[in-house]
């Protein structure tokens, strides 16, 4: 069997596709990475599917086809830039695009047409990773903590890995004992939505707009009053709970847009810091990944809220912050083909370890 795998990730931020070529048995060794932005029309279609609407079955099916065409383009570009042919790749691990996540009612939905992607790429595809964990009573997310354990654990130091994507999630890596992890609240999703509404920018680069505003304490209190923060892990969330419509209901209407952005940045920092201080109290090192790891204003606030800990990026551990989740799905695809479990029941709440994913052979 070829030793190379491709990981594809398009997350809650919906900014595009991250694709990596990896050799997961080699620590793992990431051989190449590309980022392919979504076409505006595709992004708008995917965003719309996060809300109830008419003719959803048809819209979801056609969106999955369009998305799979984009995935196939990303695979071809990745292979061309890495000077690698499809025959050298054992499988593509594709997370798909989440448009619904409702584990309490027993389902989750990540759009991808796995059969079409296998047909177009000539490579076997592993997708639908969350469903088996949910069938076993779990949250179906987060799934990356198993990968974090494999590549970021230290035999002596207690670490936390914080992924700041659309949603922020934390993996707690003690030197001994079970690994835990959970979603802790919005990462970039509210900040991205607010800056796009007000300035037509996809994200707040470096947090440069947030620093122009001032914190609105009453708004922050209303945001933190969300019932999700009171839940104990295992827990997961998504755009169903944290979205622009829900934010607007908490606004008085006279706030400065920059002040709202500053408050949303504070919300993300506060949720992450509180989660670490509550569930990872003895953590010595905290490493950040995901797009939010490049938000210097956010990281500055986190440094102020997490004194006495060494903070860094996963770049310091050998995997670029933007590549971690895509690399995780390359690793999970390898686990699936090897008939090995990919979930951590301590993280998701599933009744036991499960082999994840559906396989579409090339």
Q: What is the pLDDT of residue 348?
A: 97
* CA distances from residue 179 to 149, 174, 212, 276, 342 in whole angstroms, order as listed: 7, 7, 39, 14, 13
Q: What is the pLDDT of residue 252?
A: 93
Strand order through the sheet with 167-173: 180-186, 167-173, 159-164, 285-289, 310-313
Digit-by-digit pLDDT tens for the chain (362 residues) are: 568 999 999 988 888 999 999 997 766 688 999 999 999 999 999 999 998 899 999 999 999 999 999 999 999 999 999 999 999 999 999 999 999 999 999 999 999 999 999 999 999 999 999 999 999 999 999 999 999 999 999 999 999 999 999 999 999 999 999 999 999 999 999 999 999 999 999 999 999 999 999 999 999 999 999 999 999 999 999 999 999 999 999 999 999 999 999 999 999 999 999 999 999 999 999 999 999 999 999 999 999 999 999 999 999 999 999 999 999 999 999 999 999 999 999 999 999 999 999 999 99
Predicted structure pTM score: 0.94
Kindly report, as residue ranges, where domains of CATH 3.30.420.40 are found in the chain: 4-141+322-360, 145-317
Q: What is the pLDDT of residue 30?
A: 87
CATH among 3.30.230.10, 3.30.420.40, 1.10.1040.10, 3.40.30.10 for 4-141+322-360? 3.30.420.40
Please measure the distance between the N-terminal and C-terminal CA atoms of the chain and give it in whole angstroms.
13
Q: Is 126 helix (H, G, I), strand (E, B) or coil?
A: strand
Question: Top-level CATH class of 145-317?
Answer: alpha beta
Q: What is the pLDDT of residue 25?
A: 73
Q: What is the pLDDT of residue 26?
A: 62
Phi, psi for 303 (deg, rounded to 5): -60, -35
Residue positions counted in the chain: 362
Considering only CA atoms, which of 27, 335, 251 is closest in space to residue 152? 27
Q: Tell me if 304 sits within 8 A of 178, measured CB to CB.
A: no
Q: Is 172 helix (H, G, I), strand (E, B) or coil?
A: strand
């Amino acid at each position: 069997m070829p030793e190379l795998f491709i990981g594809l990730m398009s997350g809650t931020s919906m900014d595009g596709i991250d694709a990596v070529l990896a050799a997961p048995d080699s620590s793992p060794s990431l051989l190449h990475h590309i980022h392919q932005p979504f076409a505006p029309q595709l992004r708008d279609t995917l965003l719309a599917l996060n809300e109830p609407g008419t003719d959803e079955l048809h819209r979801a099916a056609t969106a999955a086809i369009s998305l799979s065409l984009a995935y196939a383009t990303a695979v071809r570009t990745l292979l061309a830039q890495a000077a690698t042919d499809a025959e050298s790749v054992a499988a593509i691990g594709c997370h798909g695009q989440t448009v619904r996540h409702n584990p309490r009612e027993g389902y989750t939905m990540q759009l991808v047409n796995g059969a079409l992607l296998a047909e177009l790429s000539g490579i076997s595809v592993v997708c639908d990773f969350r469903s088996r964990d949910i069938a076993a009573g779990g949250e179906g997310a987060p799934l990356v903590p198993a990968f974090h354990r494999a590549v970021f654990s230290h035999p002596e130091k207690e670490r936390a890995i914080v992924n700041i994507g659309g949603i922020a999630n934390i993996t707690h890596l003690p030197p001994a004992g079970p690994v835990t992890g959970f979603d802790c609240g919005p990462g970039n999703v509210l900040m991205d939505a607010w800056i796009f509404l007000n300035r037509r920018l996809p994200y707040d680069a470096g947090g440069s707009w947030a620093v122009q505003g001032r914190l609105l304490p009453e708004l922050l209190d209303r945001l933190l009053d969300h019932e999700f923060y009171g839940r104990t892990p295992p827990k997961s969330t998504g755009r169903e709970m944290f979205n622009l419509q829900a934010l607007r209901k908490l606004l008085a209407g006279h706030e400065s847009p920059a002040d709202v952005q500053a408050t949303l940045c504070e919300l993300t920092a506060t949720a992450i810091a509180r989660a670490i201080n509550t569930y990872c109290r003895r953590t010595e090192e905290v490493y950040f990944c995901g797009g939010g790891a490049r938000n210097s204003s956010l990281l500055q606030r986190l440094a102020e809220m997490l004194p006495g800990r060494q903070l860094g990026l996963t770049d310091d551990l050998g995997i670029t912050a933007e590549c971690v989740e895509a690399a995780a799905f390359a690793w999970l695809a390898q686990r699936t083909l090897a008939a090995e479990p990919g979930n951590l029941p301590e993280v998701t709440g599933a009744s036991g370890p499960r082999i994840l994913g559906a396989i579409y052979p090339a």
